[in-house]
Structure formats: structure tokens, C-alpha cells
Amino acid sequence: MEVTANMPKPVVGAAPALPSVLDRYFAAAEEKRLVDEKLSTLRQALVSEGLQQIAQCIERYQLTAEDLKEVMPPQAPSNSFQKVGSTTRRSYRDPTTGKIWNGHGKRPSWLLEHGPDACLIT
């Protein structure tokens, strides 16, 4: 690289440059990784300690699986694709023209004029 007169010359004794945003981002990401690692280790220790206490209670009180079922919350459905809520879609008919709107697209003005209860089909 050729030095020209237009290039700035380094200033002797100048303050060091502040870290760039990218440098600060990487430093914060490393801090986060360390904190996440510490949390994971603490959680593993907590779970291990909890399981030991549970095992002691089961042994001390001679609990069975049936005893535990009474106090455990019900399990979620095994099918993760199971739909929750209503699967039917409501349709509306304009009483004057007979046009139908099934909920897709912009709400028609006739639905606002007549009210949804008066136009409901299903």
C-alpha cells in the first residue's frame, strides 16, 4: 500500500479506539453462553437433588404409581397435531342480495349494516 499525503497519520499518544458494536455483540454473546451454561449446570443439580428427595419419600412412605397419579396433573395429548378449539367456520349471508361471506377477506359493509347475528348461516 502506498502512503500518500492525503492519508491520515497515526497520532502518537492518542486514546485507544472504542470497541466496535460487533466486538461488543460478540462479548455479550459469550457472556450469555457462559450464563446459559451455568444455569444448565445448576438446573441439572437441582433436578438431581429433587429426584433424590422424591425417591426418599417413595421409599419412606411406600408410595406406588397409583398414589402418584392422584396428585399429578393430567398429561397433555400425545398427538402434537391435535387441533384445539372450534374447527367450524361461520358463514354469513346478505339478506337483500344473498351474497355469502365466509370470513376470508375484508368484512363486507352489508354485514355491518344488518349485524352479524341477523346474517349468520352456520
CA pair distance 82, 90, nearest whole angstrom: 21
Residue 2 pLDDT > 70: no
Neighbours of 41 (CB within 10 A): 10
Residue 1 pLDDT > 70: no
In terms of phi and psi (left: phi > 0; alpha: psi -120 to 50; beta: otherwise), the region of 121 is alpha
CA pair distance 50, 43, nearest whole angstrom: 10
What is the domain partition of the chain in residue ranges? 20-73, 89-122
Residue 22 pLDDT > 90: yes
Q: pTM of the predicted model, to two decimals? A: 0.43
